[in-house]
Structure 1
Amino acid sequence: MRTPLDHFLLTSFALCGLLRLARFNITTDSVPKDANGKAKYFEGLPTPTSLGIVSLISYWVSQGWIHDQIPFGVFAEGSILEFHPAALIFVAHGCLMISKTFHVPKP
């Protein structure tokens, strides 16, 4: 994933992670608490769930699916909009991390 658009999409994922952590620090007092004083849910996906993407990419590498063989291929090859659709996995996950309406119940 080395096209300029891939770089933009992957950078946006990293920035979403930073925004998620910053918002967590700011809004920790406003999330509803249970009887023990612990938050009832996570607002947005917790950042450590990104390890699921790491596992997926690790599997791809173990199968030799790198460079020209990345799953889902390349979109708009040879144009300014060239990118790997697999990068959209990162974008979707980043959006879920910063979502204010996506709640993940705590165990």
Structure 2
Amino acid sequence: MSSQPNQPTPPEPPKSSASSGALPPEGPKKPFSMLRTFALADLITLGNAACGTGAVLACMSYVSAVDRKPIWTALVLLPLALICDALDGTVARWRRKSSPLGADLDSLADIVSFGVAPAALGFALGMRGGWDAVVFCYFVACGISRLARYNVTAAALSDESGKVKYYEGTPIPTSLAIVLMLGVAFSRDRVGEALWFGAMNLGPFVLHPLSLVYVFSGSMMISTIRIPKP
């Protein structure tokens, strides 16, 4: 009985993605559309940022022209920023619609309105020493850190319903207490050389003791004190 040589096994045809159970390759992802994701609450948040920016510009105008009107404008815009800050969350809950940008927009707007703008107001009204500048930088850095910590820990601090039970550190809008104090000083012409508590030379720079309220405010923001959230 003659034996036939072994024949090579023909290669199997490639299996289709349908028969093999593999998913077909996905098409290109659609680019993120910022405008399409915007909600009404986001526009109110941007109103907060606009008020804070307007206050900063008003302070710059006062420094360059020494006209009292821009400071009054700043003192009006910052409370309006607080109203927008409170209103955006209320509108989001009322409409039951928010965007993925909401939390980040809120934090960034708060930094402008309740961090940079109060520091600019203090500088405009006379706290222009070298140590004052260090204090303002510390204050703004504390505000940024406070908001970043809140964004990171909000989920851990929330209850079963998703509501945050308390703030850790004082909220950054509490800096409006400084704005109110400076508004009183401005109305009584206690600004510039007449600023409360005067000025002192410490080493190479000048410090206005009144600027230390910014140190206190910033330190309270990054503290671990628990503030119940209403």
Give TM class, smaller chain: 0.7 to 0.9
In structure 2, C-alpha distance between the alignment counterparts of 1:36 and 1:73, rounded to whole Å? 51
Q: Does 1:44 align with 2:165?
A: no
- DSSP 3-state at the match of 1:65: coil
- DSSP 3-state at the match of 2:155: coil
Deviation of 1:81 (Å): 4.2
In structure 2, C-alpha distance between the alignment counterparts of 1:75 and 1:32, rounded to whole Å? 46
Q: Does 1:14 align with 2:168?
A: no
Ranges in structure 1 where 5+ consecutive residues have no aligned partner: none
Ranges in structure 2 where 5+ consecutive residues have no aligned partner: 1-126
Show the 5 A alignment for 1:60-71: 60-71=185-196
In structure 2, C-alpha distance between the alignment counterparts of 1:103 and 1:46, rounded to whole Å? 10
Amino acid at match of 2:163: K
In structure 1, C-alpha distance between the alignment counterparts of 2:141 and 2:151, rounded to whole Å? 16
Aligned to 1:84: 208
Kindly report the root-mean-square deviation, in angstroms, between the aligned alpha carbons of the 2 structures. Answer: 1.5
With normalisation by structure 1, the TM-score equals 0.88
Aligned to 2:221: 97
In structure 1, C-alpha distance between the alignment counterparts of 2:143 and 2:153, rounded to whole Å? 15
Q: Aligned residues: percent identity? A: 38
In structure 2, C-alpha distance between the alignment counterparts of 1:32 and 1:26, rounded to whole Å? 12
- DSSP 3-state at the match of 1:5: helix
- DSSP 3-state at the match of 1:38: coil
**Which is helix-richer, 1 or 2?**
2
In structure 1, C-alpha distance between the alignment counterparts of 2:186 and 2:177, rounded to whole Å? 14
- DSSP 3-state at the match of 1:42: strand
Number of residue pairs matched? 104
Q: Decide which structure has the larger Cα Rg and report it.
A: 2
- Structure 1 runs of 4+ off > 3 angstroms? none
Contact persistence 2:155–2:162 (CA under 8 A): no
Using CA pairs under 8 Å that are at least 6 residues apart, name the structure with larger relative contact order, 1 or 2: 1
